[in-house]
């Protein structure tokens, strides 16, 4: 046994190692990414870890390993589960052999996501059990219990940490890792192949498992009843910690039910809870999943209060203050007037592409190349390059989900034939879900231009590799798939590959691609600046600057600021010497210079 300070995601990874996981696959997505990053850093030769091309692929890889009797885990963020839902639903019916955990991190807030969706609904929808950890320590233990449960009932189990659990750190007591059990191997059985008659039978079995698991859950330590007064409080996930803190600090007399497995509900323990309280307040982030199940179970015997009664908001993260305010209002306690804490005025800092980011150059060049187009629509996508929407670039008119820039552009082009639709996709997004959209554009001969912003990495989530990078998650060399070759194989006839910092050539390539009638593509290749060595030179503004501010107004590079004389200075510690600004200055005032001058 050893104590270690762990982030929640590390605790999940270490819990999986202790549980004997053999195969882990996933797609990077905040707040889940560090689960796989930790497993990569652990370099355990018994575990095969991979960044898959998307979440559906990752889930299917993990399912195959579990068919063969290996313990497997798949990781993703909540929106990633949308991509993986198809195999997940069928897998619930088919079942597995080795234990399989589906770790899906939810993002109340949301801090870095396009939705605030609640994975517990997916668990209910798919008839799969879900564990909802309240802390890193509990996440470490829950992942092990989830593997055991999965193997016992031969179905995948969802682990659903939220941002605050994933990214908080705590001291976790790590147990000894037992010797790995051998993998039984795949046993051929007709049940591995889903057919209507089989799914009818399996559906019945799946429903029966829910009841058995509910009974089992009532005895799990993750579900607990803390006896107190007749006022009941039911909590799920990280809200448990906030409630415990408020109850402890103000000495509140309540009976507390901690729900660690929100689906299926541990009905024996919840029944015990409902029989001793006169009302219940439910505290849970995102949707009223526990609240609604308690409402059904209580069948009017006990009032159930929470989001549905307006005591708590449906959106955003909870915190000590919001839980305190809900508890006080539920218990009829008048909060003492506290001196309003005066928060300092934070400087406004809108999200912006980094200084020297190659995407800035690509966006700007597309803008220049399309300035005479009657109506150009720019279809963005998910990644760092979504930031191309900000002024002064204003180059993202739509952004829906991974890979959708390419397909939304096609829909727009069909609806508005006179417009020119330009879709942007990063290299990782291209492999994730971009390719089927490109095939569709070629098949339907839709007139769009695809710009693949290839910075040789999955930058937004922390530089994970992908099939185009030539290395695996474990750092081994791999075949680097060529985006250009794939585009050609998909049938795209007009393809150009350019360096976005070769300004004139890039603008000309974009013009040609936009003029081409039918699907065309330009691949802009330049590494993310965080993967480059610091250059020895930078750009400087000399005395011929006329203060027109064209450089700032058109590019918005954060290395450039106006000085007190109305001219421009370049911050040498930020400048990456990309030279984009020198193409914009009308009087040639921006030149390369020595970094140390």
Nearest distance, CB of residue 576 and ligand SF4, angstroms: 5
Q: Is the CB of 445 or the CB of 571 nearer to ligand SF4?
A: 571
Q: Which residues of 263-275 are buried (b: 16+ CB within 10 A; e: fewer)?
A: bbbbbebbeebbe
Q: What is the H or E stretch that residue 541 is in?
A: strand 537-541
Nearest distance, CB of residue 381 and ligand SF4, angstroms: 23
Q: Is the CB of 414 or the CB of 587 nearer to ligand SF4?
A: 587
Q: Is the CB of 379 or the CB of 581 nearer to ligand SF4?
A: 581
Q: What is the H or E stretch that residue 87 is in?
A: helix 78-94
Distance set, CA 160 to CA 129, 236, 291, 570 (Å): 10, 11, 17, 45
Q: Is the CB of 270 or the CB of 362 nearer to ligand SF4?
A: 362
Nearest distance, CB of residue 552 and ligand SF4, angstroms: 7
CA–CA separation, 9 vs 529, rounded Å?
27
Q: In 3D, which of 135, 136, 134, 104 has the Cα closest to residue 121? A: 104
Q: Which residue has the tokens 């009638």?
A: 517
Nearest distance, CB of residue 540 and ligand SF4, angstroms: 9
Q: Is the CB of 352 or the CB of 400 nearer to ligand SF4?
A: 352
Q: Is the CB of 62 or the CB of 580 nearer to ligand SF4?
A: 580
Residues that bind ligand SF4 (CB under 6 A): 355-356, 539, 541, 545-551, 555, 557, 559-560, 567-568, 570, 575-581, 584-585, 587, 589-590
Nearest distance, CB of residue 586 and ligand SF4, angstroms: 6
CA–CA separation, 405 vs 425, rounded Å?
7
Nearest distance, CB of residue 382 and ligand SF4, angstroms: 24
CA–CA separation, 275 vs 263, rounded Å?
21
Count other C-beta atoms under 10 Å from residue 226's C-beta.
Answer: 13
CA–CA separation, 21 vs 102, rounded Å?
12
Q: In 3D, which of 525, 526, 524, 541 has the Cα closest to residue 575? A: 541
Nearest distance, CB of residue 499 and ligand SF4, angstroms: 14
Pairing of strands 72-77, 100-105: parallel
Rounded CA Rg of the chain: 27
Nearest distance, CB of residue 349 and ligand SF4, angstroms: 17
Q: Are 385 and 451 in contact (CB under 8 A)?
A: no
Nearest distance, CB of residue 527 and ligand SF4, angstroms: 14
Q: Is the CB of 332 or the CB of 586 nearer to ligand SF4?
A: 586
Q: Is the CB of 47 or the CB of 557 nearer to ligand SF4?
A: 557
Structure tokens at 54: 């998307």
End-to-end Cα separation, the chain, in angstroms: 55
Q: Is the CB of 532 or the CB of 549 nearer to ligand SF4?
A: 549
Q: In 3D, which of 74, 66, 82, 271 has the Cα closest to residue 187? A: 66
């Amino acid at each position: 046994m050893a104590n270690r300070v762990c982030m929640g995601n590390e605790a999940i990874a270490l819990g999986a190692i202790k549980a004997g996981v053999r195969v882990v696959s996933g797609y990077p997505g905040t707040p889940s990414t560090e689960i796989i990053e930790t497993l990569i850093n652990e370099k355990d030769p018994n575990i095969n870890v991979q960044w898959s091309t998307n979440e559906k692929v990752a889930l299917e890889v993990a399912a195959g390993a579990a068919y063969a009797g290996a313990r497997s885990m798949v990781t993703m963020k909540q929106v990633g589960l949308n991509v993986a839902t198809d195999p997940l639903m069928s897998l619930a019916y088919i079942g597995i052999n080795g234990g399989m955990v589906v770790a899906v991190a939810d993002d109340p807030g949301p801090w870095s996501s396009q939705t605030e969706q609640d994975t517990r609904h997916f668990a209910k929808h798919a008839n799969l059990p879900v564990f909802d950890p309240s802390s890193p320590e509990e996440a470490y233990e829950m992942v092990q219990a989830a593997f055991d449960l999965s193997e016992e009932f031969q179905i995948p189990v969802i682990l659903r940490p939220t941002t605050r659990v994933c990214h908080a750190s705590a001291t976790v007591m790590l147990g000894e890792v037992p010797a790995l059990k051998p993998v039984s191997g795949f046993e051929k059985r007709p049940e591995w192949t889903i057919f209507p008659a089989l799914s009818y039978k399996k559906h019945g079995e799946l429903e029966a498992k829910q009841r058995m698991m509910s009974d089992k859950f009532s005895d799990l330590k993750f579900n607990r009843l803390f006896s107190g007064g007749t006022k009941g409080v039911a909590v799920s996930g990280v809200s448990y910690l906030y409630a415990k803190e408020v109850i402890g600090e103000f000495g509140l007399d309540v009976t507390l039910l901690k729900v660690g497995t929100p689906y299926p509900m541990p009905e024996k323990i919840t029944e015990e809870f409902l029989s001793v309280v006169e009302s219940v307040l439910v505290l849970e982030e995102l949707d009223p999943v526990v609240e609604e199940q308690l409402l059904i179970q209580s069948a009017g015997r006990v009032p159930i209060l929470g989001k549905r009664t307006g005591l708590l908001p449906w959106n955003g993260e909870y915190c000590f203050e919001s839980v305190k305010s809900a508890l006080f209002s539920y218990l009829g306690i008048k909060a003492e007037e506290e001196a309003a804490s005066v928060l300092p005025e934070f400087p406004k800092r809108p999200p912006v592409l980094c200084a020297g980011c190659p995407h800035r150059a690509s966006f700007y060049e597309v803008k220049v190349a399309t300035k005479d187009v009657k109506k150009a629509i720019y279809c963005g996508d998910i990644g760092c390059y979504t930031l191309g929407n900000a002024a002064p670039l204003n180059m993202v008119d739509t952004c829906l989900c991974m890979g959708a820039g390419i397909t939304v552009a096609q829909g727009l082009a069909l609806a508005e034939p006179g417009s020119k639709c330009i879709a942007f996709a990063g290299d990782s997004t291209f492999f994730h879900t971009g390719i089927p959209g490109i095939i569709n554009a070629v098949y339907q001969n839709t007139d769009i231009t695809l710009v693949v912003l290839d910075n040789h990495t999955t930058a937004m989530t922390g530089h994970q590799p992908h099939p185009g990078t030539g290395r695996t998650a474990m750092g081994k060399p791999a075949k680097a798939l060529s985006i250009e070759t794939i585009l050609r194989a998909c049938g795209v006839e007009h393809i150009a590959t350019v360096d976005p910092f070769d300004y004139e050539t890039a603008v000309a390539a974009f013009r040609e691609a936009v003029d081409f009638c039918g699907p065309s593509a330009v691949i802009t290749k330049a590494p993310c600046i965080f993967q480059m060595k610091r250059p020895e030179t930078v750009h400087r503004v000399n005395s011929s600057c006329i203060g027109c501010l064209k450089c700032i107004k058109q590019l918005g590079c954060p290395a450039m600021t106006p000085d007190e004389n109305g001219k421009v200075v370049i911050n040498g510690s930020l400048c990456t010497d990309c030279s984009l600004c020198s193409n914009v200055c009308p009087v040639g005032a921006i030149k390369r210079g020595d970094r140390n001058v």
